[in-house]
Homo-oligomer: A and B are copies of this chain.
Amino acid sequence: MTYRIGVDAGGTKISAGLVAGNRMIKKIKIPTEQGRGRNQVIKNILKAISIVSQGIKKKEIEMIGIGLAGPVDSRNGILKVAPNIKGLQNLPIKKIIEKTLDIKTIVENDAKCVALAESRQFRCKNLIALTLGTGVGGGIIIDGKIYHGSGYAGELGHIVIDYKGYKCTCGNNGCLEEYCSGRGVERLAKKYFGKAIHPLEVQRRAEKGNKKAIRVYNEFGAYLGIGLADYVNIFNPEIIVIGGGIGRAWRLFLPSAIKEMKKRAFEVSSSSVKVVPSKLEVDEAGILGVSLLN
């Protein structure tokens, strides 16, 4: 029996899974402990790998995949820009893990891994995935493979929908991410409720029928639809998958997003695209995806 280990290392927690074939047979989660420095973060990644692979012989582990938020130099296994896990920026993670464990390790952008996992789920070789969460991640699957361009392609959250718009954490202005991430929900909650409310609470209220909360997600969806129209015009993909923690509220915003997209995109392309929620759980998608790399 051979296994693959997928690790999704985020700003607050590290999830790891043991994968056999296409099935995840074990999954764990531990804190990232960013505040304790980069060495501790690496220690915790190694700890997560060790916990999830308990009882498995080392020679049975084919590879370790590590998914990280931000542009990843996957050839060298280095996270180049680390908005959420600053300590890992420019650290040769692949080398460190391989040297420590002597197991082949691949490092990749987390949203790209989600896109890959979803493309297998949907049996679709031309697919765009968006992960709506703290930020907006993106992955482009062309002919069944992750599209990298010269290395860092797929930053789909960082397309401009209003060039004079809100300053984005990336330095640009008016990025889709500012409208369609957790920050976007919070900003809209402020607009409609007059105060900051956590996205999960807004979602809860909307699901209970609160009109203001419903309006928050309608407007959120309209912004998302602008971005979707861009992707449809650029890629004419078969499927656009919406994932990520904020994406869990898809029932609340997908109708207005699709409506706006259809209003804006070329009909030849918009008529055939399917915009759908992720088939996998948020945790699962990244772990499964990163375990599919080679």
| Chain A positions near chain B (C-beta within 8 angstroms) | 71, 73, 80-81, 126, 138, 140, 142, 147-156, 158-164, 170-173, 223, 226, 229-230, 233-238, 263-266, 268-269, 272-273
Contact = CB atoms under 8 A, between A and B. Distances in A.
A104 to B, nearest CB: 25
A234 B154 contact: yes
A81 B172 CA distance: 33
B149 A81 contact: no
A155 B80 contact: no
Contacts of A272: 150
A273 B153 CA distance: 12
Given A150-B238, A163-B162, A164-B162, A268 B81 contact: yes
Contact of A80 (B140, B170, B237, B268): B268
Contact of A71 (B155, B235, B268): B268
B162 A159 contact: no
A158 B236 CA distance: 12
**Integer count of this chain's copies in the complex:** 2
A288 to B, nearest CB: 24
Contacts of A164: 162
A96 B172 CA distance: 49
Contact of A160 (B138, B148, B152, B161): B161
Given A126-B150, A147-B142, A159 B268 contact: no
A180 to B, nearest CB: 12
14 contacts: A140-B234, A148-B236, A150-B236, A150-B272, A150-B273, A151-B236, A152-B268, A153-B234, A153-B237, A153-B269, A158-B266, A160-B230, A160-B264, A171-B264
